[in-house]
Structure 1
């Protein structure tokens, strides 16, 4: 499945479509000769190709110029940090400072921003800490940063136009598809700020264009151009997924089309005959190389660049294992790690929530809100601040009072809460919030070495640790496993009720594998700052194999991405996107009543969404008609509808429906690639509905292709010539009329919502209220 091409206006010749493919001495097939005879006999003089191409080129230049104008107009406003610029601008600064950071997205898009900053001589001194921070006061070349997505956003409009052009559509269809992107407020708003979606959408559009160019060369397999567009398709797909993981949907789009194409190559009845199995294997191998292997290597390459640049310790250290962190210079692992001895006082901190293991004299309540009874033991909680109630003494199983013995991996230990002089314990009592998890509490020293001795034993299990590996502060990430029950000490961010002072619950998790069970020793309070155990010789930065670092980072990225499930005031659900039910507030300025509200062009989105439904209806009606023996469409129209428009619809569906099964936070910008595909469907259906090749002309050409006898006397031939002339002239009027109406309405919607997209001018209360079409939660509406 892919976009098909139509015969150029003014010519009846089509290459390599049906019929005999044997060429004569002039390099023409029998079909070419028959079509030329038909044209000459009826005095059809093909119009020069340059005339038609010139019209396309003129419109292309105009559309591209308007795209740059709409994206760059007022790009310096506002001159302060807007929305998620706090993230992606910060990451660019970290690259320029070579400081390690962590993000759930792959590095390609962020590397482009860093490259732009490097080109203009920026040193990365500003870290984009807060929305509203001034770029001018902090001397940040923010216009250069914003220019990158603006350029890509403008070129996306051009690529959409080229997709339609390469697919053989007329100028009205090309202009409608490109115009819906050109005048869309969401695409404009997302490409005027330091955000990743411009790169993502541009790469997706390029993957469609390159694949169409590759598919058009299907009759010239393994030629230089065929390989070029195949590899470029894979490169675009790789850039798409290397920007955000949702770029994987583009692989599904292209992959589905490739599978259909390969299936067709196996058809023994296909024109030109079926391929032999060895030849089919070559086709399969070439596509696997160009669309799977090379894209994966490109994907790995960007991570190699990422690791090569980020060589200094930074805010992303805590997301990585100690082994990874020790590959970074100036790392706290190299500077502050101290071997822990028995009888040391330690402060344990949860790796993810940063809460300290804490206890205090207060007891668990007799009954919880759900009626369950507790042990009424001493509370053990997670506390976010450093406090003396966070100090625990690490004791050996056998209290031999020998100092200087190191704690090692897999040792069994007891933890004594110093302030209350009690011993940490877990037992078969349900925790406050998780009936399936065990309660953590403390018991007296007498009980800990008496009847409750077994329940106070815990195993130190260092992550990726080796046998007898020394247990160290800061660097040893570990799980504290309750020895009798084999549950891991765990906490979460949901606060306890008032009886627990809204601190975090500590409980025993039966699932040992999750990284949320990991803790570390933050400090050894009993060890003076000048103690010789804190003296550390200078250590060399360690190295790890690239693939080991890559696998570790991938695991961390996927896990943290899956944890983005918390609610957000501007999150939205997929069913809301095609109807544009709500947007996202990006920025406000109270003094001037200015705001940037991320919202698509409602008119353009509603038209595109309606056309998607129309397309589905046409396909269902055609299939129903065929079932009843009614063939309402000619071969060319049906082929174009199912293959070309169907390919665009597939791109929309594969970028839309997967979001329904995602559990993470979702926002309107996730729909932008699908919206782009819907504009392609819209342009294609404008041509299908409002223009088309006359049936008489199509009948004659189809008959010539099939080799059947046709009535070619002078009167009939003259009729066909007249029909063709009407098609190339007056018959395009309905399509142009439809295009003008659609673009005029879209322009009106773009202009009406322009102040919310560009952030100026400020609007009065009445003007804001007039723009709350579907209850958009706009500011300054009162």
Structure 2
């Protein structure tokens, strides 16, 4: 208990207690613990040591920060090849691109390239050698600095969680010397930014928690605002950051619930607390998140490889596309591309490959990239006499048409055969040719509305929303982001929907490109889509693409791993070629850090159960309610924080990799520090120093043993076969 009191009253550990007037000569019945009642146990050996000791709250984090930058920067240019997913060109060239992650991280990568003088010409193909004109070293340094700042943040967070200085140092060492954290931070990747903002979120939350007794003070507002800003930033790098948002949300719900039950609190004050949380923890993060997209759209003003993920109107506003050459009104004989207007919708597409079952006719899909297989020619039914040499005739609302695939010469077709994935709907295929076919090739075009014109009889490029009703079955052409298996190249399934839901955006289409030599170009596009629509459209497309990242049973992914393998560090990840003459990096955590982190979570759960059972039997394990509350508080921050960052990967269907566990790892590290404090609090000073010193040495020794896999090794992997502690680590074979 003496150690606990010292830690929680700010008494230095090299001080001893003096008798006070509240004590008798045997030192009994003393209830006063003040710094004034202590004296140094020994004089300073050296004035500089005394100075460092006096300012250790500053010198210790500075020392570890310097070490952190060294571990992240050491030999950072050792490998001159593109490692894993290093990439940074679209923001430099200002070309619109599509990615499954929000834009903040990629924009910071683009900023690194801009500061490094990168001109955007290098394509960052994995495994390629960096040319002399790409300063990849500076770009890696810029990104690695995010990983370096994780270390002092871990120290200060541990202090804010009321850990002893020894325990705070242990937490700091775990973050500093984890080989996985070091390795992932040394490249042009998003993960160092995701981790840093996760760390800042936890730090700001703990700072705000410690200001709970000073509501609406300046510091209280600062840390509440910074917490909201931080969760906005972490969610803007990767959606994994939403798990940190959930942690803050659960903490806030409990906090407000307790205030709601405090009958001594005036109602106006309770409402002020609610409004403060709504403004700082809901509105502010959403504003930060949306602001990153505002900047994203403002920078990427040129047409690029991600155009097809966006609406046609958005694309029309990009520099470099030729939409202003579109003829305005659709005519028979026109060649067009059709864009699905559902969120995340692609272009109507076909290719020579056939369905492996069902009709076994030619596949029809939606595709998010532009190529000639997206081109269709609008023709009249075969029974109607018509030639492309005839005078121009415009397509009208309610006309029956035939969509002829320009590349393969087949007709868009449907029939009462179940679709391959969404079996409740009908299959859509391509069938026949110019002379062979039947009534199942015909579609009635229905105008839903037009964004700018009231006349709904004509069909216009870009702005008219249309539907295609099958003339025989009465079903509607639809693409709702269901993903085909590998035989369909993971493209979007196109079906024919039996229901007639006019509000279903996935049955809505618009003409994106339009070619017809007989028609003049329409008026220059002056249309610009609204930001909210573009923002929502892009986020749905990101969600859809994330869901499409599912394990492929037909294709082995040697880099993928499953969540059950992570806590026990059963797997590592080769980040580049494993050839003998290549600098190799193996993404594998420090076993001491990972295994002790996982063990700490189990020990905490057992301890919590034990204490609850003993409390039920009226045993008193905690002298004060404050100590019990602190025990529970750590469990909520570290235990629930770990669960929120780990469990979702166990239930989501997408393919997972080792780096997905890195945010969860941090919470287990914080739990280790707490349990060391909790179980060593009654140990004598020397014994406690020995326990912590042994742990310090152990984590450093294991780091040193494994350091080459993080810093890079240019020798054959067989030379580190002694590092293969588990048979599942593919370090050698």
Could you say which TM-score interval applies, normalised by the shorter chain?
0.7 to 0.9
Change (3 A) 1:238 1:419: closer
Aligned equivalents of 1:318, 1:325: Cα separation in 2: 8
2:689 corresponds, among 713, 727, 736, to 736
Contact 2:247/2:640 (8 A) holds in 1: yes
Q: Which moved more, 1:247-256 or 1:557-566?
A: 557-566
Change (3 A) 1:99 1:186: same
1:174 corresponds, among 168, 172, 186, to 168
Deviation at residue 227 of structure 1 after TM alignment? 1.0
1:123 aligns with 2:76: no
- Mapping 1:225-374, distance limit 5 Å: 225-268=219-262, 274-335=264-325, 339-344=329-334, 356-357=349-350
Contact 1:353/1:493 (8 A) holds in 2: no
1:627 aligns with 2:616: yes
- Mapping 1:517-556, distance limit 5 Å: 531=517, 533=519, 536=521, 539=524, 542-556=527-541
Contact 1:690/1:735 (8 A) holds in 2: yes
The secondary structure found in structure 2 opposite 1:328 is coil
Aligned equivalents of 2:558, 2:222: Cα separation in 1: 46
Counterpart of 1:603?
592
- Mapping 1:698-713, distance limit 5 Å: none
Counterpart of 1:19?
none
- Mapping 1:130-145, distance limit 5 Å: 130-137=125-132, 139-145=133-139
Change (3 A) 1:445 1:395: same
Counterpart of 1:71?
72
Aligned equivalents of 1:489, 1:37: Cα separation in 2: 77
Deviation at residue 630 of structure 1 after TM alignment? 1.7
The secondary structure found in structure 2 opposite 1:242 is helix
- Mapping 1:105-124, distance limit 5 Å: 105-124=101-120
Aligned equivalents of 1:226, 1:141: Cα separation in 2: 43
- Mapping 1:591-670, distance limit 5 Å: 591-592=580-581, 594-635=583-624, 636-670=626-660
1:7 corresponds, among 9, 19, 24, to 9
1:760 aligns with 2:717: no
| TM-score, normalised via structure 1 length | 0.77
Deviation at residue 219 of structure 1 after TM alignment? 2.2
The secondary structure found in structure 1 opposite 2:55 is helix
Aligned equivalents of 1:418, 1:282: Cα separation in 2: 64
Change (3 A) 1:493 1:538: same
Contact 2:477/2:507 (8 A) holds in 1: no
1:184 aligns with 2:160: no
2:90 corresponds, among 90, 94, 110, to 94
Instruction: Summarize deviations over 1:240-271 as a string: whole Å, max 9, x none.
Output: 11111111111111122222222333444xxx
Unaligned 5+ segments in structure 2 are: 14-28, 45-49
Counterpart of 1:199?
193
Deviation at residue 75 of structure 1 after TM alignment? 0.6
Change (3 A) 1:496 1:507: farther
Counterpart of 1:412?
400
Q: Which moved more, 1:333-342 or 1:661-670?
A: 333-342
Instruction: Summarize deviations over 1:709-763 as a string: whole Å, max 9, x none.
Output: xxxxxxxxxxxxxxxxxxxxx8343433232222322223322322222222424
- Mapping 1:672-751, distance limit 5 Å: 672-692=662-682, 731-751=684-704
Aligned equivalents of 2:376, 2:459: Cα separation in 1: 17
Count the aligned residue pairs: 683
Aligned equivalents of 1:680, 1:287: Cα separation in 2: 26
Deviation at residue 353 of structure 1 after TM alignment? 7.9
Contact 1:107/1:242 (8 A) holds in 2: yes
Deviation at residue 420 of structure 1 after TM alignment? 10
Change (3 A) 1:482 1:735: farther
The secondary structure found in structure 2 opposite 1:587 is coil
Change (3 A) 1:338 1:540: closer
Aligned equivalents of 1:342, 1:117: Cα separation in 2: 49
Contact 1:753/1:771 (8 A) holds in 2: no
Deviation at residue 63 of structure 1 after TM alignment? 1.3
Deviation at residue 166 of structure 1 after TM alignment? 2.2
Deviation at residue 409 of structure 1 after TM alignment? 5.8
Aligned equivalents of 1:298, 1:347: Cα separation in 2: 36
The secondary structure found in structure 2 opposite 1:656 is helix
Q: Which moved more, 1:40-49 or 1:307-316?
A: 40-49
Contact 1:381/1:506 (8 A) holds in 2: yes
Change (3 A) 1:442 1:73: closer
Deviation at residue 623 of structure 1 after TM alignment? 0.3
| TM-score, normalised via structure 2 length | 0.82
Counterpart of 1:577?
566
The secondary structure found in structure 1 opposite 2:584 is strand
Contact 1:348/1:357 (8 A) holds in 2: no
Unaligned 5+ segments in structure 1 are: 12-34, 693-729
1:163 aligns with 2:157: yes
Q: CA RMSD in A?
A: 4.1
Change (3 A) 1:125 1:358: closer
Counterpart of 2:16?
none
Change (3 A) 1:346 1:743: same
Aligned equivalents of 2:218, 2:127: Cα separation in 1: 52
Change (3 A) 1:744 1:295: same
Larger radius of gyration: 1
Deviation at residue 155 of structure 1 after TM alignment? 0.7
